Amino acid sequence: MNDRGKIVAGLIIFLVLITTPIWMNLVAEGDAEGPEIEILTKDVPGQDKCVKSKTEMAAQHMDLLNTWRDEVVRSKARVYQTADGRYYAKSLTHTCLKCHSNKDKFCDRCHIYVGVNPYCWDCHNEPKEFK
Ligand code: HEC
Ligand code: HEC
Ligand code: HEC
């Protein structure tokens, strides 16, 4: 009887130990993975949403920027309408970076983390962009 109890207890301990990584993962789920980025636009009225959903932006912002540039430069189409009917200028500096004004703790932090280095700022930081 006594032995049986010990075996069961031992089995339970064994099971808990061997599944520890799974529990740890479940507990850490929310804040695991990824760089720490800061989104500072939330206090600005009407600026609590990106031009697309967060997941779409995380996955597609590079393509969106390319599309915007092409449309502006080739077709002079400068206005973007969001799915929910808001309008924005198709502009890296005057739209993206106006909202995400903390480039260093947002764009940069994420890009350093994933190891990309967009060359856009060679030109787009120059004063002529703010004419
Ligand atoms: C009107 C303000 C505003 C504009 C303009 C804007 N953003 Fe955002 N952006 C936000 C907010 C607010 C969030 C967070 C959305 C959320 O939490 O649902 C966000 C989220 C994102 C994310 C996802 C971050 C993450 O946590 O995965 C990326 C990437 C991003 N924006 C890039 C851009 C780029 C590039 C542009 C220009 C094409 C842009 N944003 C324009 C306000 C803005
Ligand atoms: C949540 C993380 C994250 C945030 C925040 C973020 N980016 Fe990115 N960005 C990425 C990733 C990942 C790539 C690389 C995608 C690939 O290589 O397919 C990328 C690529 C890019 C590229 C293309 C670069 C290249 O060489 O192909 C541009 C342009 C860009 N991001 C602009 C921005 C701007 C502007 C902001 C801030 C307004 C921003 N990103 C914020 C994750 C992020
Ligand atoms: C060699 C200089 C140069 C580089 C590098 C560059 N751009 Fe541009 N970009 C320009 C010029 C010039 C325009 C035209 C400005 C206008 O007509 O308003 C422009 C326009 C744009 C526009 C539309 C207008 C605006 O105000 O933003 C977008 C979006 C854009 N570029 C995104 C990018 C992105 C994203 C990158 C990096 C992947 C990039 N550019 C790199 C020079 C450059």
Token representation of residue 25: 């993962």
102 assigned to some structural domain: yes
Return the minimum-mean-pLDDT range out of 11-15, 50-54, 118-122.
11-15
Q: Which of ligand 1's atoms lies nearest the C-alpha of 95?
A: 5
The total number of structural domains in the chain stands at: 1
> Distance, CA 84 to ligand 2 centroid (Å)?
24
Question: pLDDT tens, 67-126?
Answer: 999 999 999 999 999 999 999 999 999 899 888 888 889 999 999 999 999 999 888 863
Model pTM greater than 0.85? Answer: no
13 assigned to some structural domain: no
Residue 11 has pLDDT above 80, yes or no: no
56 assigned to some structural domain: yes
Atom 6 of ligand 3 has which residue's CA nearest to it?
120
42 assigned to some structural domain: yes
Query: For residue 5, how many C-alpha atoms fall within 13 Å in the half-sphere facing its CB?
Result: 2
Token representation of residue 76: 């002079």
58 assigned to some structural domain: yes
24 assigned to some structural domain: no
> Distance, CA 129 to ligand 2 centroid (Å)?
20
8 assigned to some structural domain: no
Q: Which one of the ligands is nearest to 126 CA? A: 3
Whether the CB of 89 sits within 6 Å of ligand 1: no
11 assigned to some structural domain: no
Q: Which of ligand 2's atoms lies nearest the C-alpha of 117?
A: 26
Range of the domain at 124: 34-130
